[in-house]
Amino acid sequence: MQDRLSGEKYDQFMIEAEVKEFWEREKVYEQVRRRKGRKFYFLDGPPYASAKSIHVGTAWNKVIKDAVIRYHRMLGYSVWDKPGYDTHGLPIEVKIEQSLGIKSKKEIQSVGIDKFVEACKGFVKENMEAMSRQFAEIGASLDWENPYVTYENSYIESGWWLIKRAHERGLLYKGYKVLHWCPRCETVLADYEVSEYRELEDPSIYVKLPVRGREREYLLIWTTTPWTIPANVFVMAHPQIEYARVKVGDEVLILARQRLEEVMSEAGVSRYEVLESFPGSRLEGLEYDHPLEELVDVQRELRQYHRVVMAPEGVTAYEGTGLVHAASGHGTVDYEVASRLGMPIVSLVDEVGRMTREAGKYAGMHFREEANRAVEEDLRRKGALFHSSRLVHRYPVCWRCKTPLALRATEQWFIAVTKLRDELIREASSVEWVPEWARTRFMNMLEEVRDWAISRQRFWGIPLPVWVCRKCKKYHVVGSVQELRELGGEVPEDLHRPWIDRVIIRCPYCGGEAERVPDVLDVWFDSGVAFYASLGYPANRQLYEELEPADFIVEGHDQTRGWFFSLLRSGVIGFGKSPYRRVLVHGFALDEQGREMHKSLGNYVEFEELISKVPRDVVRLWLLSSTVWEDLRFSWKGLEQTARDFTVFWNTFVFASTYMSLDAFDPEESSIESVESYLEPVDRWLISRTNSLIAQYHEAMGGLRPHDAVRALRSFLLEDVSRFYVRLIRRRVWEERDTPSKRAAYATLYYALRAWLLLAAPIIPFLSEYIYQRFMRPAERGAALSVHMMLLPQPEKHRVDEKLEREVSLIRELAEEVLAARANAGLRLRRPVSKVIVVPKRRELAEAVSSLKDMLAELVNSKAVELESEAFLEGLRAYAVKPLLGEIGREFKKLTPEVLKLIEARGAEVAQAIAERGYFEAEVNGERVRLERRHLELVAEYPEWLVVRESELAIIAIDKRLSELEEAEGYAREVIRRAQHMRKEARLMIEDRVVLWVSGDKEMVEAVRKMEEFVKNEVRAVKVFYNMPEEGAFAREWEIDDKKVTIGIRRA
RNA sequence: GGGCCCGUAGCUCAGCUUGGUGGAGCGCCCGGCUGAUAACCGGGAGGUCGGGGGUUCAAAUCCCCCCGGGCCCA
């Protein structure tokens, strides 16, 4: 092997630049993609292309995807890796409005829809290019040249196909629905878009509705939206709640019994009398008059509907009066109850938030700002206002413009998803969810699924492919461009509005002219069809049929109700099945304090900044080490620590490369099979650990737990290889001659590092490629061009020795105890000790020590390790006793001083007796005294030359006594260490030989002389002189334990 | 108001599925090493396992309630 790693300073940034250049030059990605294998259809959740800079969370998202993709490629799969972009929708329209300085739909029309839509497209294009660049930067190996883009004609056409499918299945319908409406954006908001609430102040009024045919008797209702009173149709009550007729002054009010006290106290009424109480069911059918009947045109037609109906779903006993005023066009429940009972749907607010003509006196008023006040005033004048105040409550506002929303019945197009509920549940159950709780969350959501309002009264979106005949008023759904052409439509170059709006087709029913309904589709529709639209289906059926279903998707947990759902919905509508097999849910990237990262909060970390400060692999390893489905806290410190791990990764490979090349090691010639009989326990251990790692890694990656894989990889290289194995093989590796033992160590180390390098490739693609090119590829015939074209190793079960792994881990634990004992006794590690005695407390430890004695001895720098029984220590142990005054005083009373004297005088004897038989008897002042364990504290004492430490594993005793020779070795090592330091200072090469001078303190010089062969070998000296260094030699005076020594070296 | 998730050392996080002596890294203190070295190794201090209740011989772990945070809904 040739060393291509050492001698160069480790610079991860430089490495990444070079690797990138290599990938581009050799077209590695293209070659990786071209390889054939079993299909793995990965479907990219398209990020929304509304900004140029990606969020740390978006980067995390793509890094997870990339790790999974690379992993599958290295398993031999042919991975479908087309990325996507979500490009339509209101948020982008808003940005363009802002950049054009306009504020409403009307202004867009005056600018020209064509210009507006072109601006949207241009904006999105720039964003996509910037985002792709950043994704490629962190090494996301997706097909950035050919992403799927939701605004493309082919994609739009694929979208149309699903609307047509829905229509064919009888799921498409036009209906009224009460939905949140933004009067500023002039559009309906989907349920999940109603996400922002503000604390707003509103009126809180109690209104008296006169009961028809009874004098001075009223239904009492409560509302915070006076503007809905003109649209009142009926009143809802709960059949099981108790109601009361209450006399207040000369009037009678009807309200819930349970609400009585609170309502009266709020209204400041202290004197009232309950005339009778009864269940709500008795109120059914009770008619009333509308107090504003003569001011509101539509109310004259609604007279016949004004009555109390039973509607438990709309009434609670914890708020209001228990009687709920229903405005069928302005409340969700109101609408549902009205539909059920065949009541009319009345909506009196127009698209811009003004009261309609039917609202009579209030026509033209803004619903919140003006109508509220006017209605309240009129009610007061009519004597219908029982009480009025103000209240601050959470009120929904538009998520983009913060305008308070109105509930409003509007005409929209729907897909009857509720009809598909059972299918959805069946299909979702068959999906594998990681983690498992994602399934629970998803299922809970499906239980309450609603019909899907797909239409939007906007511009930048997939046009709704519905044409309505001017003559017969029937509508026709167009499923493709070809169909459009067949119906006589002139197909525009771009399928967006406004061009598509101008397409007139022939009505298939009456032959009349049909024009398009001007709506566009909900943007959630777009990404929901990605599973087939990104493959060009149905224009190109083959690709989809080959690839479906998607084998894997992964997005943040917010997408449960988002993309995961919209995909499933589209899958079931279009194909009757789930479009994906496995789902991984990842967390949110939060800031260092655990809050959401937002530009407006000033805690936003720019991706470009991140990547300029921290190498990509470091970012990746750090991101991937976080538990994937939990939220991630951004941390510069965490990244810094991760960067430090990389220096150890690097150093480990440099170490291997340096020595293997020095010894011309050839991994192909010296495989672990070829050195089998020379493998030492530590070698067999590392080989076993390597296979355990491989198994663990596959289990983690296969189970979509990349964090577990990363943690296993990290600890293997840091703990097992670098801090343990390399330390233990140093002596073998420094051996000058070519020994089988050294070769065995190299073979083992190469085997472990090779496996690690391959396993790490999906996680840290840059560094692993770099090291592969310089360490592995030149050493192996038939190694692929790139590490990413290699196959991952599979665990070889016969090489796993669980017993050995357990034993080594016990030995490591024990070694720590010994080191702790040494540290406590001030015995430095460099000085050997003559003997470590182990008295094991567990049988498996005894076995481990007896089979791995040498390993333990090496780890703790001891000349010998001996297993002994407790009896051995007992022989060396002496006990001191400490009387426990409390116990002794309580029992011996007046005799206590005498007893204490006895203990002091015959302490050793007392201790021995109690230790051996549990008691000691003697006569004191003529009385027989019996001392037991409870009277005394026994303190074990050992000879001065023995250091003892007891742990849960064993009792450890270290013999501090050193033989003369060992003492000399200790001193010699002190000299060696300093000579090594000087070699380094003198910039000698590792393989250079030197001449050494040692002079000064007699004991030191004598020690070196005794250990001369050892010293020469360690320092690579050809000769040692015991006098002052010659002129020109590199010399220095040292002080070691108060002894002065002069050391000199010169290259031989 | 509902569903799901999170809360463990000063900081970042394992451990919880399957109850049995609480772990790692960083930081801090002490010591060591110097042939991977702008590294590294060892030792030590540091914890009401968010709070309360329950089940159990035994709870960080299982159950219930509460508090704080996240996501999604109402």
A741 in Cβ contact with A676 (< 8 Å): no
DSSP A529: T
CA/C1' separation A636–B52 (Å): 37
The tokens of A728 are what?
A: 């233990």
A841 in Cβ contact with A814 (< 8 Å): no
**ipTM > 0.85 for the complex:** yes
- List, in order, residues 6 or more apart from A60 with CB less than 8 Å away: A586, A589, A623, A632
Other CB atoms closer than 10 Å to residue A1040's CB: what's the count?
Answer: 15
- In this structure, is the CB of residue A1018 within 7 Å of any atom belonging to strand B? yes
CA/C1' separation A734–B36 (Å): 13
**Three-class SS of A688-728:** HHHHHHHHHHHHHHHCCCHHHHHHHHHHHHHHHHHHHHHHH
Other CB atoms closer than 10 Å to residue A622's CB: what's the count?
Answer: 23
CA distance A255 to A217: 11
- List, in order, residues 6 or more apart from A208 with CB less than 8 Å away: A218, A219, A220, A251, A253, A291, A383, A384, A385, A386
| Peptide bond connecting A147 to the previous residue in cis, omega within 30 degrees of 0 | no
DSSP E strands in A423-557: the ranges are 432-434, 452-453, 455-456, 466-469, 475-477, 505-506, 513-516, 520-521, 553-556
CA/C1' separation A487–B14 (Å): 65
The helix/strand/coil state of A168 is helix
CA/C1' separation A935–B42 (Å): 39
A453 in Cβ contact with A130 (< 8 Å): no
- In this structure, is the CB of residue A699 within 7 Å of any atom belonging to strand B? no
CA/C1' separation A794–B29 (Å): 45
- In this structure, is the CB of residue A976 within 7 Å of any atom belonging to strand B? yes
Task: Please enumerate, as own/partner, the contacts of A960-968 that have beta carbons within 8 Å and a separation of 24 or more.
Answer: A960/A825, A960/A827, A960/A833, A960/A834, A961/A834, A962/A831, A962/A832, A962/A833, A962/A834, A963/A834, A965/A1010, A966/A832, A966/A834, A966/A863, A967/A1007, A968/A1006, A968/A1007, A968/A1010, A968/A1011
Other CB atoms closer than 10 Å to residue A487's CB: what's the count?
Answer: 17
- In this structure, is the CB of residue A983 within 7 Å of any atom belonging to strand B? yes
CA distance A932 to A915: 10
Packed helices A616-625 and A56-73: angle between N→C axes, nearest 10 degrees: 90
CA distance A226 to A380: 12
CA/C1' separation A408–B67 (Å): 39
- In this structure, is the CB of residue A644 within 7 Å of any atom belonging to strand B? yes
CA/C1' separation A630–B6 (Å): 8
Subset of residues 113-152 in chain A with CB less than 7 angstroms from any atom in strand B: none
Identify the pLDDT of residue A192: 56
Q: Which nucleotide is nearest to A990 (CA to C1')?
A: B35
For residue A835, CA distances in Å to A102, A350, A974 come to 87, 94, 21
Burial of A915 (0-12, 13-18, 19+ CB in 10 A): middle
CA distance A415 to A418: 9
The helix/strand/coil state of A1045 is strand
What is the gyration radius of the CA atoms in chain A, in angstroms? 42
Length of chain A: 1052
CA/C1' separation A634–B48 (Å): 29
CA distance A1015 to A1041: 19
DSSP A38: S
- In this structure, is the CB of residue A8 within 7 Å of any atom belonging to strand B? no
Identify the pLDDT of residue A599: 66
CA distance A233 to A308: 10
A260 in Cβ contact with A244 (< 8 Å): yes
Identify the pLDDT of residue A182: 83
- In this structure, is the CB of residue A816 within 7 Å of any atom belonging to strand B? yes
CA distance A171 to A452: 10
- List, in order, residues 6 or more apart from A474 with CB less than 8 Å away: A468, A507, A509, A510
Which of the residues in chain A have pLDDT under 70? 190-193, 195, 399-400, 593-595, 598-603, 830, 937-939, 963, 1041-1042
With residue A133 as reference, give the H or E element that holds it.
Answer: helix A113-137
Subset of residues 451-470 in chain A with CB less than 7 angstroms from any atom in strand B: none
The tokens of A873 are what?
A: 């220590």
Subset of residues 360-419 in chain A with CB less than 7 angstroms from any atom in strand B: 394
The candidate with the shortest Cα–Cα distance to A236, out of A313, A178, A299, A302, is A313
Q: Which nucleotide is nearest to A440 (CA to C1')?
A: B4
- In this structure, is the CB of residue A980 within 7 Å of any atom belonging to strand B? yes
- In this structure, is the CB of residue A768 within 7 Å of any atom belonging to strand B? no
CA distance A276 to A784: 91
CA/C1' separation A69–B69 (Å): 33
CA distance A578 to A427: 5
Protein CB footprint (7 Å) on chain B nucleotides = 3-6, 11-15, 21, 25-26, 31-44, 69-74
Subset of residues 904-943 in chain A with CB less than 7 angstroms from any atom in strand B: none
The tokens of A323 are what?
A: 């009687």
Q: Which nucleotide is nearest to A640 (CA to C1')?
A: B26
- In this structure, is the CB of residue A842 within 7 Å of any atom belonging to strand B? no
CA/C1' separation A903–B16 (Å): 52
Give pTM, 2 decimals: 0.84
For residue A740, CA distances in Å to A528, A736, A744, A747, A857 come to 63, 12, 6, 10, 22
